[in-house]
Structure 1
């Protein structure tokens, strides 16, 4: 049990470090700003798509009320009135104005994808037609599927077996948790579909469940904070709803992005993280695998590294290849990666000087590693440490005195 608790705490620290390294708070602020301008266009496009089908007349307003009732704190009632007025005015726009609204909605989706690709270390975002088709499917098919699901659920809840005096036992509880289940499904779909990389569905489901539960807890806590600490109302008066709504959007995006970090972190091998190998050691392992496969006339991909016994996470693999490509040591082929430089003309000293990761301390290195070069490398580091201690072993005061005397 203590070992499991330790691994869990290590994993939490790992996620927090990644979240800060990926500038999660900054991305959440950018998405909050984008959401402020895109929420009306998104809702306008949604209502327009639903209004195009006679069977969905009035469903848009019901969906809006359902979302504000179940996913927005109690302070959102005033915001809902404002948004309803804005959307009513937006419906009177010309086709040019509607086109600008659609472009604004596209920009929001593009910002979300950029934030997710940064978390997953995706270097090649969607481009051209694939990006357009994905966004168009979200803006067109998304509202239709949402309306169909809402209409079906409304019909089911109207049945006597569900809401009548002879309702089935336990159905009421299911209806109460329905918003949470819908939120889990939505976040799971977002985490699985938005990043331009393969995301295991079970990891997306775990992240979606985490984000949905945390968002619901945050909604309850946010409502309590506003009720018991009405400082915003005292300062801003009737205008207090706006900063509170912005604060809630920012908090929501923080939760969504941290959930994305969780999904990406689950895709990283726990076996690899438990080794805690320094990045420089990983670079040498990858170079060794590249060198051996090059001699056999084969390209390598990440799966070849896994087959060699090293469960390297995809984000570390991308960072290492980016460095090696910058050093002109590797290049991409149609089937993978190969060495594009004679390693006989590239010294280990060059690698140590040019790599962006600091030279490894001996106490952080494992005693044994299943690599043929590792014993000699470790011994060289020991000799380097001894030589460095010999050269710079004097006290700082002696060095400064010597410098002053000179």
Structure 2
């Protein structure tokens, strides 16, 4: 007969706490997903993101027209077009580019205004969606105009981080491979391997940190009252890991498809469009799941471990999320009488 192995008390307690935490978040996430229309909000976010692409294309077209205003740039493009297309078709395209040059300032203005308005509309949807994920009794709504001012602020804060994390993932690896490794380092294999490894690790960690900061701002600043920083950070880190994994997969797919001619290239392009739309929808789901997890952690702190929908203990009834990071909310236990305590509320 084998003797039963007794684990140390500290190990058994750690495993018990880990199991209780896993049960709380798995069941709590299931309840919240069923109750808060997470997938519907993810669809709304994806739709707003796709709408935002239109002014981005307009703005990029205007910027291209501004870039062609230089004589050298326009001459180089003209020469390339004449070599690529027959005379009649090439002249039509050159005439179009000349008109684009003249109207580039107007196109840039229209694209810039459209991008700002569409980004505002996107962040209104994000604010409402994240607020819905934090829909507990301690959560308060912003007024209409304060909400709009808050959206302008978040467009700037989150937008900068979004551009940085996407730019690092999409443009840094090709630059490193084609410019630094090919020209500066040379053919030495060991140095190339060390450099590629360092760039690969940095290219994963730095965008992950920026993405975590991006989600943290949404999960911390959008709810009112603010949750604890620790709760917002847990949800942001989970969302960042899931989103970065999908972003790296999409970047890899976008980098290595589209080769070929004729129907093969057309099929690859169509597949890329489908993959992009799916990635946008997946991003909306990840954002909502991270917000729900942050809400669950704050809910667990306030209710001393209760699941959503459970009664809040009377002695914790006046408890609200503390705006100061790392401080545990104090429970008023000095007055032993519950005579003036309000009835228990649902959270």
Q: Give the alignment's TM-score, normalised by structure 2.
A: 0.54
Match of 1:267 among 298, 303, 316: 298
Distance 1:42 1:301, change over 3 A: farther
Give the counterpart of 1:247 among 234, 256, 278: 278
CA distance in 1, matches of 2:198, 2:143: 43
- Give the equivalent residue in structure 1 for 2:331: 307
For 2:142, the equivalent position in structure 1 comes to 125
Matched residues in 2 for 1:112 and 1:217: separation? 21
Match for 2:127 among 110, 113, 120? 113
1:99 Cα deviation after fit: 3.6
Determine which structure has more spread, i.e. the larger CA radius of gyration.
1
**Paired position in structure 1 for 2:202:** 175
Decide whether aligned partners of structure 1 residues 114 and 47 sit closer, same or farther in structure 2, where only a CA change above 3 A counts: farther
The unaligned stretches of length 5 or more in structure 2 are 1-14, 64-100, 186-190, 257-262, 322-328, 334-339
Residue 192 in structure 1 maps to residue 220 in structure 2:
yes
What is the CA deviation profile of residues 9-53 of structure 1, one whole-angstrom value per residue up to 9, with x for unaligned ones? 23221022112311100000111111110234468789999xxxx
1:41–1:105 CA contact under 8 A, matched in 2: no
Instruction: Tell me what 1:256 maps to.
Output: 287
In structure 1, C-alpha distance between the alignment counterparts of 2:196 and 2:249, rounded to whole Å: 30
By how many angstroms is 1:307 displaced? 2.4
Show the 5 A alignment for 1:253-402: 253-269=284-300, 272=303, 274=305, 279=310, 282=312, 285=314, 302=320, 307-308=331-332
Matched, 1:135 2:151: yes
Q: Per-residue deviation at 1:189?
A: 2.3
C-alpha distance in 2, partners of 1:356/1:148? 41
* SS in structure 2 of the partner of residue 197 of structure 1: coil
Q: Which range moves more in the overlay, 199-208 or 108-117?
A: 199-208
- Tell me the equivalent position of 1:23: 37
Residues 127/217 of structure 1: CA separation in 2 closer, same or farther (3 Å cut):
same
1:106-141 deviation per Cα after TM superposition (whole angstroms, max 9, x unaligned)? 11110100001111124412431x334333334456
Pair 1:6–1:224, CA change in 2 (3 A): farther
Q: Tell me which residue corresponds to 1:216.
A: 244
The root-mean-square deviation of aligned C-alpha atoms, in Å, is 5.2
d(CA) in 2 for partners of 1:10, 1:243: 36
Q: Are 2:62 and 2:104, in contact at CA under 8 Å, matched by a contact in 1?
A: no
Q: Hey, what does 2:53 align to over in structure 1?
A: 39
Aligned residues: 255
* 1:215 counterpart SS class: helix
Distance verdict in 2 for CA 1:170–1:248, change over 3 Å: closer
Change (3 A) 1:174 1:108: same
Structure 1 gaps of 5+ residues are 50-87, 228-232, 291-299, 310-336, 344-350, 358-406
Answer yes or no: is the 8 Å Cα contact 1:44–1:91 preserved in 2: no
**CA distance 1:182–1:5, shift in 2 (3 Å):** same
Q: Distance in 2 between matches of 1:106 and 1:38?
A: 10
The question of whether the paired residues in 2 share the 8 Å contact of 1:42 and 1:105 is answered with: no
Q: Are the counterparts in 2 of residues 191 and 204 from structure 1 also a CA contact under 8 Å?
A: yes
Does 2:21 match 1:7?
yes
